[in-house]
Structure 1
Amino acid sequence: MTEITRVQLQPVAKGTLPKLWIGIVLVLLLAAGAAWAAVPKVLTLAEGVTLETLTEGTGPNPGATDYALVNYRGLLDDGTVFDQNDQAPMPVDQVVPGFSTALQNMQAGGRYRVKIPAAQGYGAQGGGPIPPNADLTFEVELIEFRTREEIMQMQQQMMQQQMMQQMMQGGAAPGGAPGGAPVGPGAPAAPPVGQ
């Protein structure tokens, strides 16, 4: 009796089996590399501050004397939000020490989770809604940062623009004080005080 479902298998060519195993190992290594890249990177910084990178940023890091523009949310250990702000300008050297340390290790466009021990935050005294000896967690997005010199130049430019606008809107009236009545000979006298 003949079997019509039987298919004759071809012999495996010499050297094919090791190539198959090498291919499987390569696929596993690539998958492991992709999984490793997806794991957030955590840096332990000075005095126990940790910085977890949620989204990579690009470019240089802010310096201690720079100003950072950030979106942030501050949380206590129990999950209570004690502070939150969008597009908040911050002088890097005028925030709590742990936050300053973390900012100096961020890059523009990056999102981070920062854990600050109490000693690098508000310490034993606490502050506002933050109880004494509270560890803090911040979720931070560094939008951009500028040097102090750039900020000062921007402020000067804004002041000059405001002065120009004031002058264009009727600053100095001819023959008189800015926006006031004319003064000098032939000008009407002001009424005496009290009348």
Structure 2
Amino acid sequence: MSKPEVEFQEGPAPTELTIKDLVIGDGVEAVPHGVVDVHYVGVEFESGEEFDSSWNRGQSANFPLDALIPGWQEGIPGMKVGGRRQLTVPPELAYGPAGGGHRLSGKTLVFVIDLIGVG
């Protein structure tokens, strides 16, 4: 797969985690508290501006799910290797409310995640 284009979403930002499968994988399933190997791109919901991408670094990212934002902890389990999933994550499940000390605090974030492997 190649780096995805994240489509701009119309309307107000959702207040709940929104999960949309773009490609259904047929490999091993990611489980809660597991380790995942992913390629991803993240954009701000309102501006569509990209703030992070493993594709730009030229290598996938390997993480224990428990070390990630709650939106990923909830949104990745159930994905299968080979799948591509879009997560739209409200601030409460990302970096917290505005003024929380992170540059993305208070922002709704959209991620497109490719599950490369599970550990």
Q: Quickly name the TM-score band, shorter chain normalised.
A: 0.7 to 0.9
Offset, 1:87: 1.0
Offset, 1:58: 1.5
1:136 aligns with 2:109: yes
Normalized per residue, which structure has more strand?
A: 2
Code of the aligned partner of 1:65: H
**What are the within-5 Å matches in structure 2 for residues 145-184 of structure 1?**
145-146=118-119
Q: Which runs of 5+ in 2 are unaligned?
A: 1-14
Give the structure with higher Rg (CA). 1
Code of the aligned partner of 2:69: V
- Corresponding residue SS for 1:123: coil
Code of the aligned partner of 1:80: E
The structure-2 alpha-carbon separation of the partners of 1:108 and 1:126, relative to structure 1 and needing over 3 Å to count, comes to farther
Are the aligned partners of 2:27 and 2:82 in contact in 1 as well (CA < 8 Å)?
Answer: no
Identity of aligned residues (%): 28
1:72 aligns with 2:35: no
Normalized per residue, which structure has more helix?
A: 1
Offset, 1:49: 1.0
1:108 aligns with 2:81: yes
Poorly superposed stretches of 4+, deviation over 2 Å:
none
Return the TM-score normalized by structure 1: 0.47
1:92 aligns with 2:65: yes
Deviation digits for residues 47-95 of structure 1, max 9, x if unmatched? 8211111111124432222110000001002111111114100111110
Match of 1:83 in 2: 52
What is the aligned-residue RMSD (CA, Å)? Answer: 1.6
Code of the aligned partner of 1:106: M
Q: Select the structure with the greater relative contact order (CA < 8 A; seq sep ≥ 6).
A: 2
Aligned length: 98
